[in-house]
Amino acid sequence: MVEAFRIRGGNKLKGILRASGAKNAALPIIIGTLIEKGTYVLKNVPDLRDIRTLIQLLESLGMKVERLDKNSYKFVNEGLTNLVAAYELVKKMRASFLVMGPMLAHAKEARVSLPGGCAIGSRPVDLHLKGFEAMGVDITLDHGYVEAKAKDGKLLGANVLFDFPSVGATENVIMAAVKAEGVTTLENVAREPEVEDLCNFLNSMGAKISGIGSSKLVIEGVEKLVPGEYTIMPDRIEAGTYVVGALMFNGDIEVEGVVREHIESFISKLEEMGAVFEIEGTHLKVKSKLEDLKPAKVKTMPHPGFATDLQSQMMTLMCLVGGTSEVKETIFENRFMHVPELNRMGASIDIEDHVAVVEGVKTFSSAEVMASDLRAGASLVLAALKAEGESIVNRIYHVDRGYEQLEEKLKAIGADIERIKMEA
Ligand SMILES: CC(=O)N[C@H]1[C@@H](OP(=O)(O)OP(=O)(O)OC[C@H]2O[C@@H](n3ccc(=O)[nH]c3=O)[C@H](O)[C@@H]2O)O[C@H](CO)[C@@H](O)[C@@H]1O
Ligand SMILES: C=C(OP(=O)(O)O)C(=O)O
């Protein structure tokens, strides 16, 4: 049996949706607690399936974890008792591969399962490994695991130029470099806000990372970090998902937790389409109507470009905008799995090469559909809320990876949504 959402769409939704802590910042920051012995308190940690998977992985390495309240945890690192990150846990979530950098910083060696691909693409880790090798780490592949060992037990500062600004590779190598001997210079790094949040967390413990937010980071290795307390940033992708909802429901939904500069390309693309926003601090209200929006072209790019994690939600909105819109996906090879599902709900989308051509339709129609990944799942939920009648969104374990208490948040603004069990 798997869980699904049964959604009876067409309700008038009204109220405030608040973004929780960012999954993609919380994951690397929690993993960062592996670097140094001591006690860490992390706040605004979202209550998600991915966080629970990660905690299991950290506990398997020797970390003691105590939940202080719904969104706060204490992590006590008394030294790692196991240097193997097992396939059973790593395969559930690709971000698990980020334990390699911290384990190298802590113990100068690690054996971490290769994560494998997922529904959105093959997702290799070559850029992570190139960075570690430059720092004097011997890498061997053995029965699906990466064995990493610092030569002579020393992690050395190095110059690394990434071929592509990979978020994961940037984060992994940063976490190895903060305690390396000497200076590490990383060029063409990912500039996503979650990378900045990780750097700010590490610097709050005494790491010396400069250039934060730019494409070049200079990291002066330090002997010791001093663990403490840190609050995770709000989830810009969750907030962006709700902004799409606010536009689809003609401004009756307001969104809390919007940091405009974190999703500038998304917000400005929506403004180009005719959306009018009133943003006060981190509170967003929509002042335009869905029927005022014009079609647009969007191309996903590394930050500060349009985020791939908002691509499917944007496409769902475009389905309801008169005229022809286009979405080009450049980050992941296979991130259009939501297209046939949206078409089952009455959308009119064709894929040509890596471009989805979207012809606007009047509305969605209810149907039984399947989430293929996290953001695809969120997009189908948005479409189902709009469609008159009963829809089923199946395989919501994907959605549970990244949206904290989605059905409670939606129920609170008037949605008719319930979690049910379905045949797998
Ligand atoms: C937990 C987390 O933060 N996940 C985010 C992170 O994923 P993730 O860190 O996996 O994304 P990357 O930026 O690394 O990947 C982007 C592209 O680079 C390729 N690549 C990556 C590493 C590598 O060694 N070799 C290589 O070829 C990938 O296959 C992909 O096509 O950034 C993505 C891009 O913004 C987001 O969609 C994910 O939500
Ligand atoms: C693709 C995503 O996550 P992950 O990298 O964990 O698969 C996402 O958050 O949309």
Express each pLDDT in 258-276 by its tens digit: 999 999 999 999 999 999 9
Residue among 105, 282, 303, 60 at smallest CA distance from 202: 105
Q: Give CA–CA dist 264/21, Å, rounded.
A: 19
Q: Is the Cβ–Cβ distance between 22 and 236 less than 8 Å?
A: yes
Give the pLDDT score at 118: 81
Ligand 1 center–CA 420 separation, angstroms:
32
H/E run at residue 315: helix 311-318
4-8, 88-92, 169-173, 211-215: least confident range: 88-92
Two tokens, residue 36: 């140094």
Q: Which residues line ligand 1 (CB under 6 A)?
A: 24, 27, 94-95, 121, 123-128, 164, 166-169, 190, 192, 194, 308-309, 331-332
Give the pLDDT score at 373: 95
- Does residue 424 surpass a pLDDT of 90? no
Ligand 1 center–CA 389 separation, angstroms:
37
Ligand nearest to C-alpha 235: 2
DSSP 97-125: GGGHHHHHHHHSEEEEE----BTTB----
Cα dist from 47 to 287, 329, 394, whole Å: 31, 29, 21
Two tokens, residue 108: 């100068």
Give the pLDDT score at 355: 97
**pLDDT tens digits, one per residue of 275-326:** 999 999 999 999 999 999 999 999 999 999 999 999 999 999 999 999 999 9
Q: Give CA–CA dist 71/355, Å, rounded.
A: 39
Give the pLDDT score at 275: 98
Average pLDDT over residues 31-57: 97
- Domain limits, the chain: 2-20+234-422, 23-231
- Does residue 353 surpass a pLDDT of 90? no
**Counting atoms of ligand 2 from 1, which one is nearest the CA of 93?**
6
Q: So what's the ipTM on this one?
A: 0.99
Fold match flag (2-20+234-422 vs 23-231): yes
Q: Between helices 100-107 and 167-177, what is the axis angle to 10°?
A: 10
Q: Is the Cβ–Cβ distance between 357 and 382 less than 8 Å?
A: no
| Closest Cα to atom 32 of ligand 1 | 167
Class of domain 2-20+234-422: alpha beta
- Does residue 176 surpass a pLDDT of 90? yes
Residue 118 known to be catalytic: yes
Of the CA atoms within 13 Å of residue 165, those in its CB half-sphere come to 18
The strand order across the sheet containing 38-43 reads 64-69, 72-77, 38-43, 229-231
| Closest Cα to atom 12 of ligand 1 | 166
CATH of 23-231, one of 3.65.10.10, 3.40.50.970, 3.30.420.40, 3.30.70.100: 3.65.10.10
Q: Give CA–CA dist 52/93, Å, rounded.
A: 11
Confidence of residue 120 (pLDDT cuts 50, 70, 90): confident
**Residue 309 near ligand 2, beta carbon < 6 Å:** yes
279 bridge partner residues: 284
What dihedral angle (degrees, nearest 10) is formed by the CA atoms of 82, 87, 90, 96?
40
Q: Give CA–CA dist 187/245, Å, rounded.
A: 37
Ligand 1 center–CA 323 separation, angstroms:
32
Ligand nearest to C-alpha 240: 2
Q: Name the amino acid, one letter, at 169.
A: A
By most ligand atoms within 8 Å of CB, the mutation choice from 112, 129, 160, 166 for ligand 1 is 166
By most ligand atoms within 8 Å of CB, the mutation choice from 401, 403, 404, 406 for ligand 2 is 401
Q: Is the Cβ–Cβ distance between 18 and 400 less than 8 Å?
A: no
Active-site hit among 41, 107, 118, 218: 118
The strand order across the sheet containing 324-328 reads 297-299, 324-328, 355-359, 348-352
Ligand 2 center–CA 397 separation, angstroms:
13
Contact partners, residue 76, CB within 8 Å, separation at least 6: 38, 39, 40, 63, 64, 65, 66
Confidence of residue 117 (pLDDT cuts 50, 70, 90): confident
Residue spans of beta strands (DSSP E) within 287-388: 297-299, 324-328, 348-352, 355-359, 368-370
- Does residue 116 surpass a pLDDT of 80? no
Confidence of residue 354 (pLDDT cuts 50, 70, 90): confident
Location of structure tokens 């690397």: 28
Confidence of residue 80 (pLDDT cuts 50, 70, 90): very high
Ligand 1 center–CA 177 separation, angstroms:
20
**Residue 94 near ligand 2, beta carbon < 6 Å:** yes
Confidence of residue 121 (pLDDT cuts 50, 70, 90): confident
Confidence of residue 54 (pLDDT cuts 50, 70, 90): very high
Give the pLDDT score at 326: 98
Ligand nearest to C-alpha 332: 1
